[in-house]
Structure 1
């Protein structure tokens, strides 16, 4: 949760908005992208609700887009609040728990998640990006663990996601040296799916989210589940899971539409 970690100030405007089938979630506030405590709770609650939705419902959410409202995606929270806490252990533990109440449903969302990574993603901001499926950045986008800089260890799942995304050796180097990662390196490591001009990040990320939201929502959710489970399963177990998943998709309305579209030589209309 830190480069400068949670707490933050909230805007009066809701942190969660619907944009067609895309759920837009703001996690930070201000020009510097301070992690917004009230927004964390609002976004976490909205993500929790996705678990019970019916993907066939025309009002269902098809993708999640996370963003900041300033020049930076998120630089963490308020370090001054840490320093001023009377019981620092209790204060930081409570903030981490609040942050994790957002990260858990983000990681297990039944729909694809996209991050619009303008400017800096440091500390908690980097943890959020690592938990998303697709991150769109700009040419000046930077990421940094930032926790060691204030004498902290990571939260938000960074110690779990980073080694799985870049390998243990690189994760050690990045975390222990508090490495600043430039856009080119982030692309090479796969932490950014695409890099565009800085002023096009929001538009490109939104377009990506809307494109995913018009896809086969149930099937994309099954893909996310298969990928998430691969670390705990043997190859044989993964094959069994794939058999169950593909059969479920084939028997559902999305499978029916996809097969019909293939036979009729047209694009499928899932929604």
Structure 2
């Protein structure tokens, strides 16, 4: 365990585990948490890490920004801008790193908690988990990449509904909308996240990184541009050690041994 004040971080071989750890404050994000999250995300952005599991401690995944800390700041706008900037650095690292990000939503994900939950490459949700934007309820506006990822995941109309009405989605409805990969019983969430992390740790990290890069570019590229990107990346993979190993293993009818 490393010495963070608001999060727990543990690295076991290629698997990193991050736990938002302010249970008495519903894992609300203050300036310390977002600063530490940006730092730990940067630490995970290495070839040694193939999987990152992100979850929360206690009953909440994350209730969003810590409004109590915001209210006490001399300049609220400047303070919140700094908090958002650090959160955005963390999300950028998670989104662009080669490692697969598994988010295990153990309870309520509100505001920035909702935002960061849906940035996961694979999102597991406990049956009791819920999702709500909640920003406009307190006169604020969305951050944490939600205005980027949500329209791409569920479209503009449903995104506006969530942001304007603060509708609360159950885990099951979130899964039906395509925001959640899998819903599992509360008591099985941690074990399921660990099993999925072990499974992904055995896969080819270079291929996973390429998938993430392709998904980030797809809505900003035309057809031919995206296909050119695909052809260049698959050629790189074919010439890589893991690419050669994967094809050779398939031809030899054996399990590949990826680096």
Shorter-chain TM-score: which interval? Answer: over 0.9
8 Å contact kept, 2:103–2:124: yes
| Corresponding pairs, count | 256
Give 1:216's match in structure 2, choosing from 172, 180, 204: 204
Do residues 236 (structure 1) and 224 (structure 2) align? yes
**Whole-Å Cα distance in 2 between the matches of residues 145 and 205 of structure 1?**
24
**Whole-Å Cα distance in 2 between the matches of residues 12 and 81 of structure 1?**
15
Give 2:102's match in structure 1, choosing from 110, 114, 118: 114
Q: TM-score, normalised by structure 2?
A: 0.92
8 Å contact kept, 1:28–1:67: no
Deviates more, 1:35-44 or 1:71-80: 35-44
The aligned residue for residue 184 of structure 1 is 172
Do residues 207 (structure 1) and 200 (structure 2) align? no
The aligned residue for residue 7 of structure 1 is none
SS at match of 1:95: helix
8 Å contact kept, 2:103–2:117: yes
8 Å contact kept, 2:102–2:122: yes
SS at match of 1:247: helix
Uncovered stretches (5+) of structure 1, i.e. residues with no partner: 1-9
8 Å contact kept, 2:246–2:256: yes
Displacement of 1:13 in angstroms is 8.1
8 Å contact kept, 1:74–1:122: yes
Give 1:72's match in structure 2, choosing from 44, 53, 60: 60
The aligned residue for residue 138 of structure 1 is 126
Give 2:12's match in structure 1, choosing from 19, 41, 44: 19
Q: TM-score, normalised by structure 1?
A: 0.88
149 and 14 in structure 1: CA distance in 2 versus 1, 3 angstrom threshold: closer
Give 2:40's match in structure 1, choosing from 43, 46, 52: 46
SS at match of 2:17: strand
Uncovered stretches (5+) of structure 2, i.e. residues with no partner: none
Across the aligned residues of Structure 1 and Structure 2, the Cα RMSD in angstroms comes to 1.9
